[in-house]
Chains A and B, each alone.
Chain A
């Protein structure tokens, strides 16, 4: 007698997922406050100009948009997917023309007082467009032309984002494509080949970065090369370096490994229960660089101040969202809904895995945000809209 009741409720709203999202939003605000409180420059600002408050605004806008997205059936939204896709491509191109350079990468477009990161939007647009494209009958996916088209849809934003350069955001597209194609029922042989190709491409990139002589190298930004070298623990200096070059390389290496070293110290020194909110010294004393503590490295701040228990809580909340998403995919009304849900789940999952992995040196440092927690308007709003779409699929699931 319970189940019909439960099912009835489930038909409407996924309370558990919404609660998890709300919890992440609260955690995000709290720890962005903690991460920026030690910064004297930031402290001097009026409360409504402080980053935690701006983040609250972003959450509000995001929740509003997510709710709005739920009002329209996702099939209706999907019709506009191509428009969204090409718009995002246009914006990615526009970044090169009117974009703002921050820390050596051209990723932002300034509109009045707002900064906007097209790559975040592009990821979402890509998921919808890809899901829409792959939602055709599985048999069609066997046609090489269709498969090639799907690949091309991936490669275009991939190349543009890579060019910014934003290696992390670009690489995230690969698991998203693979996941959606896999669930869409693309032939296993194609997928195997695609998987192998992706593997080879990544291996080639890495080999090129680490071993190739300078003139053979990909035109990657130096910092990306350095980050990967740091990750693989390789010496910066070429093998036949002079002592002076060696010393210089060592120094550079120390400087480059600094962020990840400090993130590790933050996370590790948190221990089981952490040092308490606003008690983390790594961030307060500026060892964890102020520029990244509240966005890409927000997890370090949480892990230092709330310890292993805090980390597990965050991990658990994401797991709740991801598995609710998979369940929504399983109960989706049609192929479009199923693929859309899978795309969104893989997108969120890739971000979470890469970002948290980078904090504990399981992944190389790539500047991608932790969805729903990191400070940043574009990321928060896009993530919330994505979750909104997920919920939309749930609302219209097959009865």
Chain B
């Protein structure tokens, strides 16, 4: 070293001193190297942990639209009043010094200063008083005086101090206006706009849309090390649940820099939230509305469902279930007890989608299957006259099977539109249960159709192979007779029935019902980022001759057009409806009444299935509902903007 060398030779003390200092400086250098270079990651992590809080920011939820992009579920701006705690610190201090401390000293005459142990409680009190006064002042000026919930505030302060405190939620438009007018002198308050789920059509298609629920612990599979979670919602039923991932989008991450007092210093968005995608349904708003109105017009306390399907594509144009509910009741705070009771009524089951989840005996609508099975097997000659006694007496059975068609001579068509039970039982026995069940299976009864709403039942239909009745006992002629009139070992959903008539209508192709047309980004949808669900997905072929179908459809037409036909009340002028009524009895001695149909006869486009529990008869209760629906369809078709045949053609 230059300086050490220059020291006079022999000046040992100074050399030793210089050496000591040099060694010490080297020690410091080594120490600094160790701390700043070797351990830098550790200290940076420590810094990160103590001074940053990450906040999960939910993305804007996608909309649910009808086939013409009428919003069925969307987001409305909700105005919340947030309080920035860090800006209140001077007020906290002032309150402490001027009020709380003085009160304390007045209450403890012996003391000149606050006891150390009492300080935190007093500071708490000061904070509560400041915020509580502020809330009262602000809320009173907005004509909605509120009191601060002490526990809620303290919890927020203790665990989420760096986040603004939500003072008032969901202000009305007048309140927003009143606040903006007067906010100039309240800098610590901020009007924050949050998108909130809204169902602009109220309960419309509620069972399809489903509903959301406050989600306090969003998916753990998200790779967000968030310490704080902002309120988010998760779909628990319907499309909201089934396509929750797509609708919800990707939550963002905000990083909040906090100071040593855990107050917010500044913040930045680390990851921008990716808005959820829009879901376009095949539902037609107008037809859905008409369907719900028609269904709601049935007997009060009716429970039932109606489904409208495009027989060419399998598109569900409307699907309604009654009674229904307003999905927005699940969004707010706790649901009032009476509302909760109504939603969970054990008999009416408003949250239950009868159209896909309700399982009913098919009743006489099953005679469609009987007819096709008989015609195909050659066991049913449409011109043959059958002499009916007005009831059917099976060998060995005590009670005869009753019949509303009365006694007399029946050919096929008359037996069909008057729904003669003896005629079809007789023929079913001739056909034999194997062939009858086989025809039912061609309609894929007893299987889910794959409706994406999380509420779909499979129903029940005897499986192929060795026949057994539902309770496991060996199959008997009685079981065949029961099945022929849609009773006993059969449970179907309205959705399965609409698929059935649609297949008959379109010439024998069983189509997959389509509810979701496409999923597309909220902004800038391009062909690359749109997921389209194809229309006209074939589930099966009926493999029946045109002749059999012609005979059947003529009989279905007669069911509506014949003056004494069971479905005569479904007739619509200039729109020839083909249908079949049905009535069945449930174990609870309630009537399940049906009307399954399609129209128009010449060029079938729409299939409609209606079921009501507790109705009087299929023709009396359900056929008028179907007529109302068909009338709406006719009206819809005549509108200037006809329903677009394919959604993919949209820009």
If the complex has contacts A286-B259, A327-B3, A356-B28, are A179 and B17 also in contact, measured as CB distance less than 8 A? yes
A174 nearest CB across to chain B (Å): 14
A142 nearest CB across to chain B (Å): 16
- The chain B residues found within 8 Å of chain A, CB to CB, are 1, 3-4, 6-8, 11, 13-14, 16-18, 21-22, 24-25, 27-29, 31-37, 39-40, 42-44, 46-47, 50-51, 257-261, 265
In the complex, A330 has a CB within 8 A of chain B: yes
User: Does the CB pair B24–A349 fall under 8 Å?
Assistant: yes
Which stretch from A101-109, A111-119, A315-323 is at the chain B interface?
A315-323
User: How many chain A residues have a CB neighbour from B under 8 Å?
Assistant: 42
User: Does the CB pair B21–A326 fall under 8 Å?
Assistant: yes
User: Does the CB pair B32–A286 fall under 8 Å?
Assistant: no
> How distant is the Cα of A134 from the Cα of B3 in the complex, in angstroms?
25
User: Does the CB pair B28–A268 fall under 8 Å?
Assistant: no
Secondary structure of the B side of the interface?
Answer: helix
Chain B, residue nearest A330 (CB): B7
Of the candidates A268, A308, A345, A357, the one whose C-beta lies within 8 Å of that of B43 is A268
Of the candidates A179, A265, A281, A360, the one whose C-beta lies within 8 Å of that of B257 is A281
User: Does the CB pair B47–A312 fall under 8 Å?
Assistant: no
In the complex, A329 has a CB within 8 A of chain B: yes
B136 nearest CB across to chain A (Å): 29
Chain B, residue nearest A357 (CB): B28
A14 nearest CB across to chain B (Å): 12
If the complex has contacts A286-B259, A312-B32, are A182 and B47 also in contact, measured as CB distance less than 8 A? no
User: Does the CB pair B47–A281 fall under 8 Å?
Assistant: yes
If the complex has contacts A182-B16, A326-B21, A327-B6, are A269 and B43 also in contact, measured as CB distance less than 8 A? yes
> How distant is the Cα of A185 from the Cα of B10 in the complex, in angstroms?
13
| Residues of chain A lying within 8 A (CB to CB) of residue B29 | 312, 315
If the complex has contacts A345-B21, A360-B35, are A268 and B11 also in contact, measured as CB distance less than 8 A? no
In the complex, A77 has a CB within 8 A of chain B: no
In the complex, A311 has a CB within 8 A of chain B: yes
Within 8 A of B (CB), among A256-284: 264-265, 267-272, 281-282, 284
User: Does the CB pair A285–B259 fall under 8 Å?
Assistant: yes
> How distant is the Cα of A312 from the Cα of B28 in the complex, in angstroms?
9
Known: A287-B51, A308-B37, A357-B31. 5 other contacts (CB 8 A): A281-B51, A282-B47, A329-B14, A342-B14, A360-B32
Secondary structure of the A side of the interface?
Answer: helix
**A to B CB contacts below 8 Å, 12 in the list:** A179-B17, A264-B43, A271-B36, A281-B51, A281-B257, A286-B260, A308-B33, A312-B29, A323-B4, A342-B17, A349-B24, A356-B28
User: Does the CB pair A268–B24 fall under 8 Å?
Assistant: no
| Residues of chain B lying within 8 A (CB to CB) of residue A349 | 21, 24
A326 nearest CB across to chain B (Å): 5
> How distant is the Cα of A268 from the Cα of B33 in the complex, in angstroms?
9
User: Does the CB pair A183–B17 fall under 8 Å?
Assistant: yes
Within 8 A of B (CB), among A335-386: 342, 345-346, 349, 353, 356-357, 360, 362
If the complex has contacts A271-B44, A285-B260, A287-B260, are A353 and B28 also in contact, measured as CB distance less than 8 A? yes
User: Does the CB pair A315–B43 fall under 8 Å?
Assistant: no
A40 nearest CB across to chain B (Å): 10
User: Does the CB pair B17–A315 fall under 8 Å?
Assistant: no
> How distant is the Cα of A286 from the Cα of B86 in the complex, in angstroms?
14
If the complex has contacts A265-B46, A271-B37, are A326 and B3 also in contact, measured as CB distance less than 8 A? yes
| Residues of chain A lying within 8 A (CB to CB) of residue B44 | 268-269, 271
| Residues of chain B lying within 8 A (CB to CB) of residue A318 | 25
User: Does the CB pair A267–B36 fall under 8 Å?
Assistant: yes
Chain A, residue nearest B14 (CB): A330
A266 nearest CB across to chain B (Å): 8
Of the candidates B6, B39, B47, B265, the one whose C-beta lies within 8 Å of that of A330 is B6
| Residues of chain B lying within 8 A (CB to CB) of residue A179 | 17
In the complex, A307 has a CB within 8 A of chain B: yes
